[in-house]
Structure 1
Amino acid sequence: MNLRREGNETDKLALLAIKAQIKQDPHNVLSSWNESIHFCSWHGVSCGRRHRQRVTRLDLQSQKLAGSLSPHIGNLSFLRELELQNNSFSNEIPPQIGHLHRLQVLSLHYNSFSGPIPYNISYCSNLIIMNFGSNGLVGKIPSEFGSLPKLRRIVLEENNLTGEIPPSLGNLSSLEALAASLNLVGSIPTSLGQLKNLTLFSLNSNNLSGTIPPSCITSLLFIILE
């Protein structure tokens, strides 16, 4: 079997499955997603320089798209950037995103996603930016996120998350920004004092107790705890 051909078909079929779950496309941006041109030339799709038949970026932000995100997103195994922010995607975030081991940027903010945050996104060990802000997500912050060694920014604000801040987030030695407002309870973990690179710390509108660990205050530029 021709592996390049197999990869080519895998990515194209995954994109077509993603298109099939999008029910509203008022700007008609997905009209190019057809057989008349190569899928690497479809709107919002970028393929790699090294692996020219594999999708490395999917950027459909701010297109007023509505629908759900297909589980077939997990078949885009070379994906590095997924940018779907500022649309009207709804239903749950597919756990198959956890199959994207090369993923570096996950931007799903300003949508209408519901349900819990899939814990197995922690399998995306190359994640640098994770933004779930301004959705309708519920449940707890997965403690497994503390195993993401390259994570620099995690934004969870303006959701309906409950529970505590996992102490495991103190393991994120590269973390520069943590924003998780609304409905959280418990105390601010002392383990966050290990975050020497943290410059933005936003935990407003929560029911948290305790203080910011003094060991990380020296690096902070912005603190929002109201």
Structure 2
Amino acid sequence: MATPIKPSVVYGRPVSTDGVPNIYRGATVVPWTAPDPGIDNLGINSVDTFAVPGVGEYTVPFDGYVRVVRSEPTSRDWHQAEVYTNLIEMKMVGECEELGRITVTLNPQCLSTGQIRTPFDPYAGEGPSAKACRMAVGAMFDMPKLGLKLANKEPIILTIDDVRQIPPAGAPGKGQIYRMLPLHDIEHFEEQPVAYVTSLRFNMGGYITEEEIATF
């Protein structure tokens, strides 16, 4: 068995997977409730736009899955609870004629981390308030038709607003990208970027099965 790579870049708080159960299709998600720790196995789809100098700008739909480990909530009270997350596995596949088949996975050199918490609102009234979810992600983009394997140095910040349940299955989200996010050739990582992500919108799907994960 290969020794796991220890990430050299840690974007936030690590969350242990030791003893944390995997959760698949069929699990019940209770709104306005801070759940026990778990590893959420979720479907995901996205629409990403890439700009490749000398090639063009292309919008590509992706489909795949993510595995996210959640921490013990800081409180059992929904309003007070904060939950820390780590993205521990991801695979998304998309295709367009110009760029060919693109596979997106996690960069093992980065620990992709996040948090689900209630935003500060001095005018919030009685009753439960929706939370906000954010995740800082280090990814790799394999584009064999172009002979490129790319990675981001700046984290991709994925955000979901109006979170009323954990995990936020079925919720739309977006990547917080200002104009363009540089992508670097991993073989020449310290040189100038060779492509950019200019837009990223995603939808977090519901729980899927082990068999569905294997199909990717």
Larger RCO: Structure 1 or Structure 2 (Cα < 8 Å, ≥ 6 residues apart)?
A: 2
The structure whose Rg is larger is 1
TM > 0.5: no
The structure whose residues are more often strand, as a share, is 2
**TM-score with structure 2 length normalisation?**
0.23
User: What TM-score comes out, normalization by structure 1 length?
Assistant: 0.22
